[in-house]
Amino acid sequence: MTPQLTLQAPVELPPPELTSYLEKLWQHDLEHSSGASTFTLLVWQPAWVEQHLVRLGRLEGPVTGVVRPEVLEAAREAVDFCGLPPSTSPLAPELAMALGEHTGVDHVGEDLRGQHVESAISAYQPRRLITLAPTLSKSAGLETLVAAYCPLSEEGNNGATCGDVVVLRGDFDALREGLSLLQPLVPDDLPCWVWWNGSLEEAPDLLAALSSPGRRLVIDSALGPPRRCLDLLEERVNSSTAVNDLNWLRLRGWRESLAMVFDPPGRRESLSHVVHLDIDVEGSHPVQGLLLAAWIADRLGWHFVTSYNMDGDAIGADFERSDGTEVRLKLMPVPVGIPSSHPGTIVGLRLICEPDDRQPLCVILCSETGGCMRLEAGGVARMELAEDVVPKVPGSDEMEMGRLLGGGHDSTTPLLAAAAPLAAKLLPH
């Protein structure tokens, strides 16, 4: 989908004039339009990798915050340039940190973060899109930019329904200072979504301030330390405050493919006889794999017993089925030549069921982009084999966000609410 630019070039204003300018904008420039009665979307948009790539001249600007193919390509090349392991994902915070250590001539690129409205999001007509754009510079004061946007309807109706775009740009301190401007900008009568599109550890105070309980927080648990990601999910679930996770949404294909294997009624009995679950993930970020394991365990009613570290950075866990039989989980990081965009993407899954009076069943699901040789090895020949390839979930993070916004749910999805606390237990302390 092509990003839509704002209706007008954003106006840069002194921060104190922001509110009065917005009022003027609606009274004069947009007086023939109606304000969308939808929601506010607050986005934390650091785009560290993209900013560094532009700074180092490895990518042509502008910086948009949208993960374009050029950004991914330049980031993959930078993994090698920084001497990181080839399995490092192009969006991994480690890459941004490694790039940050390279100094030299700083290239200056235009910063358009917050001014490109992805059509996957603009289709839902946010009433106000507020972007917090932290800069690489440690001494950048607060800049505020404002613009209106009116998504063009395909039906071409005349009465445009418009929203506005606000960008707060600056270093961490400047953005902290900008927090006081934010509250009046969030209409009380509309739902407010907060998309933390960065690592969860980089500005905990800002994250806490933005994601106050009434707001619908969206994180990406592939970004940031696994313990921090899972603890945050668990905290929000336990306190019944809405949280969504793009990393969980990206599991959709795996959950659907595994459910499909057991759709034929003849296979369902086997689900009561699972003895082993293996999950392989890219690199060393286990959260997506743990969420999948937790979902399976929750759906099949297994009781968590213990979890532990194993050789080769693997994670092991023991469960007990309702009939008392032990189920073993092994989550194994595997190196890959061309890693996916997000750290810890699942490569393969193997589920072994041993019904009492039937041939054992071995289910192997394999990602479209990787191989499953490790899972296919090891005595599965005597079993009934159900193998399938899990299609890559198409679309960008913006499209996943669009899906969330379109769904309109104001609470955590029950499946994630059940899986996240268990996934937190599965990660050994």
Q: Is 8 helix (H, G, I), strand (E, B) or coil?
A: coil
10 Å CB burial of residue 161 (0-12, 13-18, 19+) is: middle
Residue 184 interacts with another protein (CB under 8 A): yes or no: no
- Give 3-state DSSP helix, strand, coil % of the chain, rounded to 5: 35, 25, 40
Work out how close the CB of 124 gets to another protein at its nearest, in angstroms, rounded to a whole number. Answer: 13
Cα first-last separation, the chain:
42
Work out how close the CB of 319 gets to another protein at its nearest, in angstroms, rounded to a whole number. Answer: 15
Q: In sequence order, which residues have a C-beta less than 8 Å from that of residue 339 and are 6 or more positions away?
A: 86, 87, 88, 89, 90, 282, 283, 345
Work out how close the CB of 1 gets to another protein at its nearest, in angstroms, rounded to a whole number. Answer: 14
- Segment interacting with another protein, rule: CB under 8 A, options 186-194, 202-210, 226-234, 297-305: 297-305
The tokens for 102 are 């390279």
Residue from the set 68, 299, 328, 330 that interacts with another protein by CB under 8 A = 299
Q: In sequence order, which residues have a C-beta less than 8 Å from that of residue 23 and are 6 or more positions away?
A: none
10 Å CB burial of residue 60 (0-12, 13-18, 19+) is: exposed
- Segment interacting with another protein, rule: CB under 8 A, options 61-69, 135-143, 201-209, 264-272: 264-272
- Please, are residues 319 and 329 in contact by the beta-carbon 8 Å criterion? yes
Question: Which letter does DSSP use for residue 208 in this model?
Answer: H
Question: Which letter does DSSP use for residue 107 in this model?
Answer: P
Q: Which is nearer to another protein, 85 or 301 (CB)?
A: 301
Q: Which is nearer to another protein, 228 or 299 (CB)?
A: 299
Residue 33 interacts with another protein (CB under 8 A): yes or no: no
Torsion sign across C-alpha atoms 336, 338, 340, 341: positive
Which residue type does 229 have?
C
Work out how close the CB of 154 gets to another protein at its nearest, in angstroms, rounded to a whole number. Answer: 9
Residue from the set 33, 38, 272, 284 that interacts with another protein by CB under 8 A = 272
- Segment interacting with another protein, rule: CB under 8 A, options 96-104, 283-291, 375-383, 413-421: 413-421
Residue that the structure tokens 């589920």 belong to: 351
- Segment interacting with another protein, rule: CB under 8 A, options 53-61, 78-86, 89-97, 266-274: 266-274
Residue 357 interacts with another protein (CB under 8 A): yes or no: no
Q: Which long-range contacts (CB under 8 A, 24 or more apart) does 205-213 make?
A: 205/176, 206/44, 206/132, 206/172, 206/175, 206/176, 206/179, 207/44, 209/179, 210/42, 210/44, 210/132, 210/182, 213/239, 213/241
Residue from the set 296, 317, 332, 375 that interacts with another protein by CB under 8 A = 296
Residue 393 interacts with another protein (CB under 8 A): yes or no: no
Residue from the set 54, 258, 362, 390 that interacts with another protein by CB under 8 A = 258
Q: Which is nearer to another protein, 227 or 299 (CB)?
A: 299
Count of residues of this chain found to bind another protein when the rule CB under 8 A is applied? 26
By C-alpha distance, which of 428, 404, 422, 27 is closest to 233? 422
Q: Which is nearer to another protein, 14 or 408 (CB)?
A: 408
The tokens for 8 are 């007008």
Interacting residues with another protein between 6 and 25 (CB under 8 A): none
Q: In sequence order, which residues have a C-beta less than 8 Å from that of residue 240 and are 6 or more positions away?
A: 411
Q: Which stretch of DSSP H or E encloses residue 86?
A: none
Residue 320 interacts with another protein (CB under 8 A): yes or no: no
CA angle 229, 415, 393 (to 5 degrees): 75
Residue 76 interacts with another protein (CB under 8 A): yes or no: no
Work out how close the CB of 378 gets to another protein at its nearest, in angstroms, rounded to a whole number. Answer: 24
Q: Which is nearer to another protein, 95 or 417 (CB)?
A: 417
- Segment interacting with another protein, rule: CB under 8 A, options 22-30, 220-228, 341-349, 401-409: 401-409
Q: In sequence order, which residues have a C-beta less than 8 Å from that of residue 378 and are 6 or more positions away?
A: none
Residue 263 interacts with another protein (CB under 8 A): yes or no: yes
Residue 161 interacts with another protein (CB under 8 A): yes or no: no
- Segment interacting with another protein, rule: CB under 8 A, options 113-121, 141-149, 225-233, 253-261: 253-261
Residue 408 interacts with another protein (CB under 8 A): yes or no: yes
Alpha carbon distance 47, 317 (integer Å)? 35
Residue from the set 301, 335, 378, 391 that interacts with another protein by CB under 8 A = 301
Residue 300 interacts with another protein (CB under 8 A): yes or no: yes
Q: Residue 98 half-sphere exposure, CB side, CA atoms within 13 Å?
A: 19
Residues that bind another protein (CB under 8 A): 255-256, 258-259, 262-266, 268-269, 271-272, 296, 299-301, 322-323, 403, 407-409, 413-415
